[in-house]
Amino acid sequence: MTNAPIIPLTDNHQAGRRVDLSSGKYLKLWQGPQHPGITGNMSLELTVSGDEIVDLRTHVGYLHRGFEKLMERRTYIQNFPIVCRICVPEPDFNEYLYAATVEELAGIRVPERANWLRNLTLEMARLASFLQWIGGQTGAFGMGVIGQWGITHRDYVLDLFEELSGGRIYHMYIIPGGVRGELPEGFEERARAVLDKVENLLGDIERAMFHNAVFKDRAKGLGVIPREMIDSYGITGPNARAAGVARDVRKDQPYLLYDQLDFDVVTASGSDTYDRAWVRFQEIHQSLSLIRQMLTRMPKSGPIHTQLPNPLHWKIPAGQTYRRAECTRGEYGYYLVSDGSGYPRRVYVRGPSYTHAVALMESMAVGANIADVAGLMVSFHTYPPEIER
Amino acid sequence: MSLKDILSPLTVWRRTAEKPYTVIDPINDRPGAARYRGFHKNDMEACIGCGTCETICQNAAIDLVPVEGIETTNGDSGLRPQIDYGRCCWCALCVDICTTSSLTMSNEYIWVDTDPEVFRFVPGAENKPWDNSELGYSRAEGYQLLDPERVEMPELEPDTRLTSFIEMVQGYSAEQAKKEADRCVECGICMAACPAHMDIPGYIKAIRENDINGGLALMYQTNPFPASCGRICTHRCEEVCAINHTGDPIAIRWLKRYIADMADESDYQAITKTAEPERTEKVAIIGAGPGGLSAAYYLRLLGYQVTVFEAQPHGGGMLRYGIPEYRLPYDQLDKDIDLVASLGVEIKYNTRINGLKESNGPKESDGPGSDGGPAPSFEQLYQDYDAVFFSTGLPDPYTLGIQGEDHPRVISGISILEDVTAGKTPDLRKSVAVVGGGNVAMDAARTARRMGCEVTVLYRRREVDMPADEEEITEAKEEGVKFITQAIPVRIEDKPEAKGEQAAFVWGEAEMVDQGEDRRPKPVLQEDKIHTDLFDTVVPAIGQGSSLDFIPEDMAAKIGIIKYKIKVGLHGETGEPKIFAGGDISNRLKDAISAIADGHRAAKGIDRYLRENQSKKETS
Amino acid sequence: MPDTQYSEIIDFALKREKEAVQFYTELEHIAQFASQKELLGEIKGMEQGHVKILENLKTKSPEAIRVERVPNFMASTYLVEAQPAKDMNYQDILIIAMKREDRSHALYEELLQQTENPELRKIFEMLAGEESKHKRFFEDLYDKYVQPDN
């Protein structure tokens, strides 16, 4: 189990087809789409021999809402409340990237303070999302209590989002032109208190999760992504960094204020479930640091929004652009095409989950144990809503 | 596997002693944050039912519906937003774009009911527990979707203005016009307030889309005086503009002017092509003011043979003789009139209708007909034409009615304006007192300033009560006109030493006496506070009356005259089926756009009358 | 004999109102144009209404009289009396009407000053109030139609 054979994608599929179900040696098993975890919005079709997986097919489509298509029939401002829904746990990256593409094509400059506030919410989103991921990763390995701590602390971050934006899940805070509101009175103190609380928790998580014989035993060596797969599969984010590839949009193509903030790209070398978790764990620490830096350094006042043309008849000059950002799971991108009308000609959302949850998962699961499938899936940190736009 | 990895997780056991994180009673213990986007609230008094919330809602969760107790009024559609919580996504764009800031959200987020119908409701109309909640989402300071600031209109500096009668408002550039047009939310509240119900959102859209031709055609559907109205319209539309509630109203008038300015010959020709087949019926129109020419335009479009009779040597009525050139240049007025004439409308100038059969000789002003023959009488028109429309306006200035008004240095405001239009120089001399606070008073005062006079306006009430357009008052002040308000005229005296060369104007200070709600306070003379000021000229401009002497008595009885006003129906019809009327002699608003609307409606009324007549003839 | 006095006074007032009706009828004859005649006819109609009210009062006891007083805003005090003429305009006719009501009002005020009898005072007060109400009505018309700009 520990050293699963690396089977190139095509061979793997052919191997699956070679399986003779009538031989009685194999069993088909479905995991999902009713699986209660974050992976459960899609389904995995497992072919097992004993409890070893010999083939895995992914099935998506259970969550398809057609957002990209919906957006072609809505004005630029009307799409603003839609984009956050594309990735439920990390709405802010969608809000930011949508705004950034629109602003670029429309030639709108965003005030400096709005950029700080945008950057702040993106790191808060990273923090919230990772805390939720801890829930998934530990839960999948039978350590649900740790997961509850993570979810609880995520809620403290959501409290901050709620007072800042008026919503816990769908923040709808970053809007073309800037942001929708100032920091509420006393926000900084409350934010710092939450950061301290989370930091305190991280010590416990480190002891209970990363220095835990059970977790180590199950996670180490599970789903090792070979270095050479990283580029050929288009793998990004912690999944790539755990394989020793120092790839991070925040450093490679800095946006917002990342070039002014102090942080290093976290990497590891094991490229297995454990190392991926470790990279993410370090990035939670990093996020705490980034948020603290921003709270200290951001200007205390200034405009938060640029007057847009009347959004009811807003037309954007013809053109196209692709903007990207580093979300918790890797490169997130928005491709926007305008034909000069009041409606986007095409919006394409590039999320990391498609690569990680479909192609990568089908390759990496073969040879794994049924009981590890969920843990392996979570170790790629994928969100099906963002696969099925 | 190290021993540390077995022992380490045990160190977190202390967390079992912690209290639960869960909120035990979220309904009571967990209110939404101060700016939570919860259930909607709507201030029913502030809301005008403009429907912009409905327009922006990407979920189509909002419908504008009639609500009991909310009346449709000028500036209020009478509708209110109904929100369907089966569709709403609580994005609050409706709140952000609300033109009146009436729509907000409470921080309440729990609403349980077994009846699914209740979740479609009209906030503010149906009492909800969160209606008075002070917390909840509202548009933040420093963030707005609608631009509250009007694009500034380039104008001549006051000093430059005073040197000539050059038009002071210079007009928008294409870029400025588009920027201003962009601010419109297309709610259409303005259309209802416009007496002519012009398709204002339509022609503003045409500007945004660079479709001058389309915009011009749209304007001509309801108003054949776009170049004039684009300059001097009383713009009732702007007063009710939705944007006016939290910012500057859209500069609707200036945008209208922009289209008229930009339209070229071919744009105008495109409009004239819409004329219907010729008809044989003849219609006589008395008065070539906006009302008469509007009726003429629409009747001619319907194919009728139209003749307009005008006492003055030029058309336009009060637009020409009551409004100075610096507000409405004659060439712009001529542009509007020429288009009407170019359709084949015959306009007989210098032709005052003489209506008195047994009059004591013709009045001095009764000119001959333009063809040299005698001017026709009202009865003749009645006999010779299939229908008659008259819109003769209010040409006669009322006097102050006080002692000494026959002083030689008293000249009425309207006669000054008429003189200037006719190319004559009114004898104003140096110090001028203008009495009144309407547009005629402002125009007379500003004209006098341009002729080098020192001008003081005396008005009975307060400045807020002045019926003149606000901008006329502001501009008059910029141009150095002095204002004395709450000044009641008492009498005019001739000082022995002035020998008729100067008038001593005696006036008293007024005390404003409250008349209760909805009624403006009355100025009451304080007899112990009387002042006397010497002026070279005193100019009364307090009001004007109709001159209906040309209507013979028997005809008048049929037509229906009440308090010197013509009683008309919806389409300008009078008590006499063949006779229609409109404009200042019949309507309440007494402005150009109302007269234009009257002319248009009368054209429809006359068309209907003539068609009915024709079908009667055919069937009999 | 208060009763006699009461009806005498009402008769006196009635006579004045009838004179007014007569006055406006004469003006109608002088007037040349339909618009003048229409307005005069309307005012005459109002005076006829006043006659009716006074006639009704005759059958009532003085106790039933309601006194209603309107403040004098002096809106017509400084206006010059217009002379009946065939070319009277709206303004002229309104000034004539206001001045007439003003004089009637002044008359009853004076009669009021001359008597101590509380019942008579009440009647004069009532009549003065009525006349000032009528004047007020014309003043309002004058404000609205003749000098809307002042």
B444-467 pLDDT, tens digit per residue, is 999 999 999 999 999 999 999 999
Whether chain B lies against chain C with 3 or more Cβ pairs closer than 8 A is yes
Q: Could you say which of B544, B568, B595 is where a domain stops? A: B544
pLDDT greater than 60 at residue B355? no
- For C39, the closest chain B residue by CA position comes to B563
Q: Tell me the pLDDT tens digit for each residue of A325-382.
A: 999 999 999 999 999 999 999 999 999 988 888 888 888 888 888 889 888 988 999 8
Verify that B408 and B373 share a domain, yes or no.
no
Average of per-residue pLDDT across A130-136: 92
Architecture of the domain delimited by C2-146: Up-down Bundle (1.20)
> Is residue B351 a part of any domain in this protein?
yes
> Per-domain residue ranges for chain C?
2-146
Mutate to test the interface with A, among B35, B41, B204 (most CBs of A within 10 A): B35
Distance CA B184, CA B200 (A): 10
Tokens coding B458: 């005396």
Verify that B281 and B238 share a domain, yes or no.
no
**Integer-rounded Cα radius of gyration of chain A:** 21
Query: pLDDT category, B366, cuts 50, 70, 90?
Result: very low
Q: Tell me the pLDDT tens digit for each residue of A71-99.
A: 999 999 999 999 999 888 899 999 999 99
The reported pLDDT for the residue numbered C59 is: 78
Verify that B434 and B539 share a domain, yes or no.
yes
Verify that B498 and B485 share a domain, yes or no.
yes
Q: Which of B249, B203, B206, B208 is nearest to B223 (CA)?
A: B203
Report CA B361 to chain centroid distance, whole Å.
42
Q: Tell me the pLDDT tens digit for each residue of B237-287.
A: 999 999 999 999 999 999 999 999 999 888 888 777 666 788 999 999 999
Dihedrals phi, psi of A309, to nearest 5 degrees: -60, 160
Verify that B539 and B595 share a domain, yes or no.
no
Verify that B414 and B486 share a domain, yes or no.
yes
- For A160, the closest chain B residue by CA position comes to B33
The reported pLDDT for the residue numbered C3 is: 54
Q: Which of residues 103-122 of C touch B (CB under 8 A)?
A: none
Tokens coding A292: 């603290």
Average of per-residue pLDDT across A124-133: 95
Q: Tell me the pLDDT tens digit for each residue of B380-427.
A: 999 999 999 999 999 899 999 898 888 999 999 999 999 999 999 999
Average pLDDT, chain C: 82
Is the Cβ pair B145, A77 closer than 8 Å? yes
Verify that B401 and B535 share a domain, yes or no.
yes
Chain A hits for B56, CB-CB cut-off 8 Å, are 77-78, 311-312
Architecture of the domain delimited by A75-362: Orthogonal Bundle (1.10)
Cα separation values, B149 from B129, B237, B251, Å: 36, 17, 10
Is the Cβ pair B545, C146 closer than 8 Å? yes
- For B6, the closest chain A residue by CA position comes to A213
Is the Cβ pair A167, B8 closer than 8 Å? no
Domain count for chain B, please give it.
4
Q: Could you say which of B121, B139, B164 is where a domain stops? A: B121
Tell me the three state secondary structure of residue C111. Answer: helix
Q: In what order do the strands lie in the sheet with B487-493?
A: B487-493, B503-513, B522-535
Chain A hits for B183, CB-CB cut-off 8 Å, are 310
- For B4, the closest chain A residue by CA position comes to A211
Verify that B478 and B410 share a domain, yes or no.
yes
Q: Does A162 touch chain B (CB under 8 A)?
A: yes
> Is residue B538 a part of any domain in this protein?
yes
Q: Does A170 touch chain B (CB under 8 A)?
A: yes
Verify that B519 and B569 share a domain, yes or no.
no
- For B209, the closest chain A residue by CA position comes to A313
Is the Cβ pair B402, C80 closer than 8 Å? yes
Q: Does B36 touch chain C (CB under 8 A)?
A: no
Q: Could you say which of B493, B516, B544 is where a domain stops? A: B544
H or E segment and range at residue B530: strand B522-535
Strand partners, B121: B83
Residue B42's CATH number: 3.30.70.3270
> Is residue B1 a part of any domain in this protein?
no
Strand partners, A344: A338
What is the domain extent for residue B259?
172-273
The reported pLDDT for the residue numbered B273 is: 67
Q: Tell me the pLDDT tens digit for each residue of A190-234.
A: 999 999 999 999 999 999 999 999 899 999 999 899 998 999 889
The reported pLDDT for the residue numbered B149 is: 94
Count the Cβ atoms, other than its own, within 10 Å of residue A88: 18
Residue B191's CATH number: 1.10.1060.10
Tell me the three state secondary structure of residue B389. Answer: strand
Q: Does B108 touch chain A (CB under 8 A)?
A: no
Query: pLDDT category, A29, cuts 50, 70, 90?
Result: confident
Chain B hits for C95, CB-CB cut-off 8 Å, are 401
Average of per-residue pLDDT across C5-25: 84
Verify that B473 and B575 share a domain, yes or no.
no
Is the Cβ pair A204, B15 closer than 8 Å? yes
